[in-house]
A and B are shown apart, each in its own frame.
Chain A
Amino acid sequence: MLQLVVNGLLLGGIYALISIGLTLIFGVLEIINFAHGEFLMLSMYAAFWLFQLYGVDPYLSILVILPAFFVIGLAIQRITIQPVLNSPPLNQIFTTIGLSIILQNVALFFFKADYRTVKTSYSDLGLNLVGLIISFPRLIAFILAMGIIAALLIYLKSTYTGMAIRALAQERRASMLMGIDVYKTYRIAFGIGIACVGAAGSILMPIYFVFPTVGSLFVLIAFVVVILGGYNSLIGSLIGGLIIGVIEGFSGFFISPHLKEAVYFVIFIFILLFKPTGLFGRR
């Protein structure tokens, strides 16, 4: 029982990292990034190929992937998101959906549909702590995810850009009047969001497998987490991620592994209908 909880929490850390990127993007740019899962997928492939071709351990490749994806995020924002920032919601939704389609099929085209995994020396290592079996990769994943999230929260609290991001999330016009370069800040926020999900991908690679549509699976989980935690609360995404991880563990065990998804969606719909602000959201 406790084992289930612990396993759930460990996985939940990764969910939290993925979702925090999504929340940041939605909170600041007010766009639901339907392509978020595809960035996860791309970073998983990146980690895979770095391992396959150069033998770089996925956990180390974060050092490369995180900044690389930040830059990718900046570029994508500039090219595809910025032009539609002032367009009606439908156009914004479709921009990211189009992006998602393109990325999925680019991956399909280059990497083919086969499942890929990474096998490191410690992939199957399990630790025995206080009577519980803890998967070593999952533990590392959790620690790294929490570390990145903590770093992000500190960054947002204490640096100028971080505060600019938070200000922009609350009020666009006032931010402009305060001299904040709004478009640059949007770009940075998007970049950070993608960097987070990029990091999540390389953390996830050792414990999962990648194929072109793996993003869709995780992005749905991320949506549920974001809504559960509160669509404009980063802490909410953190807590929400952990909760969903635990719920997944339980429902996989007690109900059926197949119906896990159904459980997410039902939770999702319930929250949207009855408490749209989620656990920690405002407004």
Chain B
Amino acid sequence: MTGTGKEFHPKSNGLYGIGVLAILALAALPLLVRNEFYLDLLVMIFFWATLAGAWNLLGGFAGQISLGHTAYFGIGAYASTLLYLNFSLSPWIGLLAGAALSVLVAVFVGYPCFRLSSHFFALATIAFAEVLRLLAAYWRGLTKGGLGLLTPFKTGIGYFMFDNKQAYAYIALAFMLLMIFVSRAIKRSRFGFYLISLREDQDGAESLGVDTHRCKMVALIISVSFTSAMGTFYSQYFQFIDPEICFSISLSIQLPLLSIIGGLGTVLGPVVGAFLLTPIDVLLRGWLGGIFAGLNLIVYGTILIVAVMYFPIGVGGWFKIKWERWLKDWMGSPAISLKMDNAVTSLPPLRGPEESKTNGQVLFEVRSLEKHFGGLQAVHNLSFQIKRGEIVGLIGPNGAGKTTIFNLISGFYSADGGEMEFHGQRITGLAPPHKLCRKGIGRTFQIVKPFNNMSVLENIMVGVFCLLKDPRKSRIEALRIINFAGLSKHQFSPASSLTIADRKRLELARALATKPDLLLLDEVVAGLTPRETKELMSIIQSISAQGITILMIEHVMKAVMALSGRIIVIHHGEKIAEGTPAEVGENKAVIDAYLGKGFRRGK
């Protein structure tokens, strides 16, 4: 998802046509190819493409790098084979049973492992796969250990064994096409957006209402099911499995390799990788491996290192960029025309008319809030109220605890004492953060967290998806918000290419997209030029005029004093003053702690 919405292109029908042709061509191949060796190669290409595609769902889309996927391959292979050998259960049913077992195991293992950061997650997955390998090798009573399991050949569709390779090729092709179809469907759906957003920035995603844990689990389940199915396929194709084959770390490594070389996180990347590397691997082994043991792997390892160093987006990624550039040059700009309007226009209706009438009522209340980190008391006995429709400023010296308060309100930290109520409902202890977003609390972060590899439009869509499920409708809504925030010029640009001012706008727009009742702005004008600050301030005023309540942390006094109706001053985690900007500006305690004597004179 680097910056273009394919659906906008007027020639998208042409692309569908190419896709259909490609599928037909692939379908014809197994019939046309007569040579046993090449037919086998074809089967293996489809096989690897499916496996790599399955891995890519978890590793490419969701960014969870598993190096232990062979565990599920092995479970699938052993489960279906054992069920067949011991109970004469058709391997087709065995495939489903194996997948179900793999899913069960994955959920049990994945659940705690997702907490780990990437390097450790990778290590944990390796360790887990190794444990299974050892189990398979030494639990001889069940698996015959190192002897492996031999499936006696019996041709028949019920037995999932055939006397010709064509049948296997079609089955593998079917799986590959299914995998591609599923990947594509996911990528365009809300779920796909959520996966990529959590890969890019998990906290940012949570703050926009993405249930990151659930999304990871769903991706894991789909990924593992396909992997397990291919394990069953392997057993039926080769009719022999053993622990070294089924729980092999080189299989675990092969899957991400194919995805990287083809293009990580793209739909066709793993397929491209499989089409490129499988023949290379087989040929290398044939030419070099026979003569000099290990030489083929030396070349292979070198390819790996070179690919990772110099082609991080992979062959598929490289092609994608060239393709998109070509499309842009030859097909012109996207079909949907947009007003390139930088002026602040009215915000799309964010809430029903009846809600604005309740201005003045208490929207959010905090009572005796406590938070400490070890011996450090970050927030102490904090109480305040925020009424609907207000703009409240939260100021204080650095380290006073302001962002900690935001983190407590938005669910990133849990309070050690006290109560918080929103809309009269108790929200203390509500976690993870996505739940608070869904209740109506939105926030920005002090250090902005854009989803770098997604376009501005896609970033905002993630926010819109909080309330709208349909991607088409969500895109339209996102466009309106982009217009309001003055980001139309950049809507298809990747977020990583924006200036800091535009990133702040993006962060704000994204949070707005979730239609919050209470918006927490954390130093949103920090680092901006005076003109940019003024522009952002008027956007904030428009937001407030639409009925959204705002609590803002700021150090830029001009902004805070001008915008806020009321200011709360925090020092060492405690409230030391509260009142109108004028009152707070005169307050001695505030001057001593924060403003400095020059403030009064300067004002």
Contact = CB atoms under 8 A, between A and B. Distances in A.
Interface of A: 30, 32, 80, 83-84, 87-91, 93-95, 97-102, 104-106, 108-109, 112-113, 212, 220, 223, 227, 256, 258-259, 261-262, 265-266, 268-269, 272-273, 276
B120 A272 contact: yes
A102 B264 CA distance: 23
Q: Is the interface of A mostly helix, strand, loop or mixed?
A: helix
B297 A104 contact: yes
Contacts of B137: 258
A75 to B, nearest CB: 15
B436 interface: no
Q: Is the interface of B mostly helix, strand, loop or mixed?
A: helix
B293 A94 contact: no
A283 to B, nearest CB: 11
A64 B253 CA distance: 35
Given A91-B309, A258-B138, A106 B293 contact: no
Contacts of B135: 262
Given A88-B312, A272-B123, 18 more contacts: A87-B308, A89-B119, A89-B122, A94-B308, A98-B305, A98-B308, A101-B297, A105-B297, A108-B294, A212-B294, A223-B123, A227-B120, A259-B134, A259-B138, A261-B130, A265-B131, A273-B113, A276-B116
Nearest to B253: A97
B373 interface: no
Contact of A91 (B115, B293, B308): B308
A212 B124 CA distance: 25
- Please indicate which of the listed interface residues A93, A98, A268 has the most CB atoms of chain B within 10 Å of its own CB: A98
Contact of B119 (A32, A99, A104, A256): A32
Contacts of B312: 87-88, 91
Contacts of B59: 90
A93 B138 contact: no
Contacts of A273: 112-113, 115-116, 124
B118 A102 contact: no
A109 B308 CA distance: 24
Given A102-B298, A269-B131, A89 B120 contact: no
B295 A109 contact: yes
Contacts of A83: 309
Interface of B: 59, 65, 67, 112-113, 115-116, 118-120, 122-124, 127-128, 130-131, 134-135, 137-138, 253, 256-257, 260, 264, 292-295, 297-298, 300-302, 304-305, 308-309, 312
A100 B304 CA distance: 11
A109 B294 CA distance: 6
B294 A265 contact: no
Contact of B301 (A87, A99, A113): A99
A266 to B, nearest CB: 7
A93 B312 CA distance: 13
A90 B65 contact: yes
A24 to B, nearest CB: 15
Contacts of B305: 80, 94-95, 98-99, 102
B257 to A, nearest CB: 7
Given A90-B264, A97-B253, A105-B294, A269 B124 contact: yes
A212 to B, nearest CB: 8
Given A90-B65, A93-B122, A95-B305, A105 B298 contact: yes
Contacts of B260: 90-91, 94
9 contacts: A87-B312, A88-B312, A89-B65, A90-B65, A91-B312, A99-B305, A108-B297, A272-B127, A273-B113
A152 to B, nearest CB: 23
A83 B307 CA distance: 12
B256 A90 contact: yes
A265 B127 contact: yes
Contacts of B119: 30, 32, 89, 93
A102 B113 CA distance: 30
Contacts of A89: 65, 118-119, 122
Nearest to B112: A273
- Please indicate which of the listed interface residues B115, B134, B293, B305 has the most CB atoms of chain A within 10 Å of its own CB: B305
Given A90-B65, A102-B298, A109 B257 contact: no
A94 B308 CA distance: 7
- Please indicate which of the listed interface residues B131, B138, B256, B260 has the most CB atoms of chain A within 10 Å of its own CB: B131
Contact of B293 (A80, A108, A223, A266): A108
Given A91-B308, A109-B294, A113-B293, A101 B134 contact: no
Given A84-B309, A272-B120, A102 B65 contact: no
Contact of B300 (A87, A101, A272): A101
10 A-B pairs closest in CB distance = A101-B301, A105-B294, A108-B294, A98-B304, A102-B301, A98-B305, A105-B297, A89-B118, A262-B134, A94-B308
A228 to B, nearest CB: 12
B298 A109 contact: yes
Contacts of B131: 262, 265-266, 269
A273 B124 CA distance: 9
B538 to A, nearest CB: 35
A30 B187 CA distance: 32
B304 A101 contact: yes
Contact of B130 (A93, A220, A272): A220
Contacts of B134: 258-259, 261-262, 265
B115 to A, nearest CB: 8
A89 B137 CA distance: 32
Contacts of A98: 301-302, 304-305, 308
Nearest to B257: A94
A91 B131 CA distance: 25
Nearest to A231: B120
Nearest to A105: B294
A36 B442 CA distance: 46
B355 to A, nearest CB: 43
Contacts of B300: 101
A265 B112 contact: no
Contact of B124 (A30, A220, A272): A272
A236 B2 CA distance: 43
Nearest to A267: B127
Nearest to A260: B134
B130 A265 contact: yes
Contacts of B124: 268-269, 272-273
A109 B293 contact: yes
B524 to A, nearest CB: 25
